[in-house]
Amino acid sequence: MTVLPVAITLLYPFAIWLGHGQVEPRLLAGLVVLAALLRLLTAKSGSAGRWWLVGALLLAAFAVWGNAWTPLKLYPVLVNAVMLGVFGYSLFAPPTVVERFARLQEGELSPAAVIYTRRVTQVWCGFFIINGSIALATALWASPATWSLYNGVIAYIMMGVLFGGEYLVRWRFKRRQHV
């Protein structure tokens, strides 16, 4: 059941692209509502989850009310903004998000590892700012095909490159730290 909201989020750009010109935006707003409701039912909803839920429902409401595409195309911007909020907040209220994940795998962390996880959290914050900005630009000024290509393919490739690159850097860091 928890896979379904993720699947909807991953396939969302393609649904918007395929539906553009074929289906009214107010009908596709149902995908945002469905993702929000499924996430509400399946996830532990903290502060970030509530912000995401409110944002998703507002985007869906604006899409229905105006029968407009732009609110639907702003969904990836919302996701990046919430992720930036979660990761960014953790920089000011440690432990950082990345440190929490690292402690789940490693247990105790050295002071150098805590500094490293903080730096990785900062990198992810930069990614969410850049990715969210590009998602916003494509939502406002790009064609539906360009918006879908960026938000449904390129953004995920960039995320995968960042994950993979960080994995390699972490592996090297651990070797240098003899962890």
Q: Domain boundaries in the chain? A: 1-68, 74-179
Q: Mapped to the 3 state alphabet, what secondary structure does 116-138 carry? A: HHHHHHHHHHHHHHHHHHHHHHH
The model's pLDDT over 19-43, given as tens digits with 9 standing for 90+, comes to 888 999 999 999 888 887 887 776 6
Q: Per-block average pLDDT, block size 10, for the chain (179 residues)?
A: 76 88 91 82 71 90 95 95 95 96 92 96 98 98 95 96 96 82
- Whether the Cβ atoms of residue 42 and residue 1 lie closer than 8 Å to each other: yes
